Amino acid sequence: MTGTRPKTLKQQLVLINIATTGAAVLVAIALLLTVELRTWKEAFVRDIGIKADIIGNQCTAALTFGATADAEEVLAALREDPRIEYAVLYTQKGGTFALYRGRQAAPVVPAAPPPDGHDFGSNHLELTRPILLHEERIGTISIRARLDDIRAALAQYAAVSLTALLLALVVASVLLARFQRAVTGPVTDLAKLMEGVSRYKDYARRAGGQGPEELASLAGSFNEMLAAIQNRDRELALSLAELQNANRKLKDLDRLKSDFISTVSHELRTPITSVKAFVELLLIKPNMPEQRKRALLEIVSDESDRLARLISDLLDLSRIESGSMRWRDEEVALPEIVETAISGIVPLAQKKGLAIERSDGGDLPALRVDRDRVLQVVMNLLSNAVKFTPPGGRITVRMRRTGPPDALEVSVVDTGPGIPPRELPRIFEKFHRAGDVLTNSVEGTGLGLAISRQIVEHYGGRIWVDSDEGKGSAFTFTLPYRALA
Amino acid sequence: MYSRNVQHRLCRALLFLALLLAVPVPWGNGYAAERNVPPPAEYQLKAAFVYNFIKFVEWPSGTWPTGDTFRVCLLGEVPAAAPFEDLNGQEILGRRLSVTILKSPQEALACQVLFLASLPPPRLTEVLDTLSGAPVLTIGDTEGYARRGVMINMFLENKRIRFEINTETARSAGLRVSTKLLKLASKVYGAAPGGE
Q: Could you give the CA distance from residue A449 to residue A419 in angstroms, rounded to a whole number?
A: 14
Whether cis (ω within 30° of 0) applies to the bond prior to A405 is yes
Position B21 scores a pLDDT of 40
- Determine the Cα angle at A262 with ends A260 and A265, to 5°: 105
CA nearest to B83, candidates B95, B72, B92, B69: B72
Mean pLDDT for B74-78 is 83
Q: Which residue has the higher pLDDT, A474 or B13?
A: A474
Which residues, in sequence order, are CB contacts of A14 under 8 Å at separation 6+? A173, A176, A180
- The answer to whether A62 contacts chain B (CB < 8 Å) is yes
Position A318 scores a pLDDT of 83
Distance of CA A379 to the CA centre of its chain: 59
Would you call A124 helix, strand, or coil by DSSP? strand
Phi/psi-derived region of residue B104, left when phi > 0, alpha when psi is between -120 and 50, beta in every other case: beta
- The answer to whether B186 contacts chain A (CB < 8 Å) is no
Residue of A nearest to B196 (CA): A58
Amino acid at A166: L
A134 with B93: Cβ contact below 8 A: yes
Q: Could you give the CA distance from residue A418 to residue A470 in angstroms, rounded to a whole number?
A: 5
**Percent of chain B beyond pLDDT 70?**
74
B56 with A134: Cβ contact below 8 A: no
Amino acid at A463: I
CA nearest to A71, candidates A61, A60, A53, A59: A59
Q: Could you give the CA distance from residue A14 to residue B129 in angstroms, rounded to a whole number?
A: 95
Of A308-317, A422-431, B4-13, B162-171, which range is least confident? B4-13
Distance of CA A115 to the CA centre of its chain: 86
For residue B56, list chain A residues with Cβ-Cβ distance below 8 A: 60-61, 64
Position B4 scores a pLDDT of 46
Which residues, in sequence order, are CB contacts of A319 under 8 Å at separation 6+? A325, A326
CA distance A58 to chain B (A): 6
The pLDDT of residue B126 is above 80: yes
The pLDDT-based confidence of B11 (bands split at 50, 70, 90) is very low
Position A86 scores a pLDDT of 92
**Total CB pairs under 8 A between chain A and B:** 31
Backbone phi, then psi, for B176, in 5-degree steps? -110, 115
CA nearest to B86, candidates B50, B136, B137, B132: B50
Per-residue pLDDT 10s for chain A (485 aa) are 444 666 777 778 888 888 888 898 889 888 988 898 888 889 999 999 999 999 999 999 999 888 888 899 899 999 888 889 999 999 999 899 999 988 776 678 888 899 999 999 888 899 999 999 888 899 999 999 988 877 787 888 889 888 988 888 888 888 888 887 777 777 788 888 888 888 888 888 887 767 778 878 888 888 898 899 889 989 999 999 999 999 999 998 888 888 878 878 887 888 888 888 888 888 888 888 888 888 888 888 888 888 888 888 888 888 888 888 888 888 888 888 888 899 888 888 888 888 888 888 777 888 888 888 899 899 889 888 888 888 888 899 999 888 777 888 899 998 888 888 777 777 787 766 655 444 444 456 677 888 898 899 888 888 998 888 888 889 999 988 864 44
Position A106 scores a pLDDT of 67
Position A442 scores a pLDDT of 47
Above 0.90 for ipTM, yes or no?
A: no
Residues in chain A: 485
A65 with B55: Cβ contact below 8 A: no
Backbone phi, then psi, for A281, in 5-degree steps? -60, -45
Q: Could you give the CA distance from residue A349 to residue A346 in angstroms, rounded to a whole number?
A: 5
- The answer to whether B55 contacts chain A (CB < 8 Å) is yes
Residue A253 burial by CB count (10 A; 0-12/13-18/19+): exposed, middle or buried? Answer: exposed
B184 with A67: Cβ contact below 8 A: yes
The angle, 0 to 180 degrees and rounded to 10, between the axes of the packed helices B40-55 and B2-22 is: 120
Position B28 scores a pLDDT of 34
> Which residue of A57, A58, A59, A64 is the best one to mutate when testing the B interface, meaning the one whose CB has the most B CBs within 10 A?
A64
Q: Which residue has the higher pLDDT, A379 or B6?
A: A379
For residue A133, list chain B residues with Cβ-Cβ distance below 8 A: 55
CA distance A137 to chain B (A): 10
Q: Could you give the CA distance from residue A416 to residue A199 in angstroms, rounded to a whole number?
A: 69
- Determine the Cα angle at A459 with ends A456 and A460, to 5°: 90
Sign of CA dihedral A106, A108, A111, A114: negative
List, for residues B93-124, the tens digit of each pLDDT value. Answer: 888 899 998 888 888 888 899 999 888 888 88
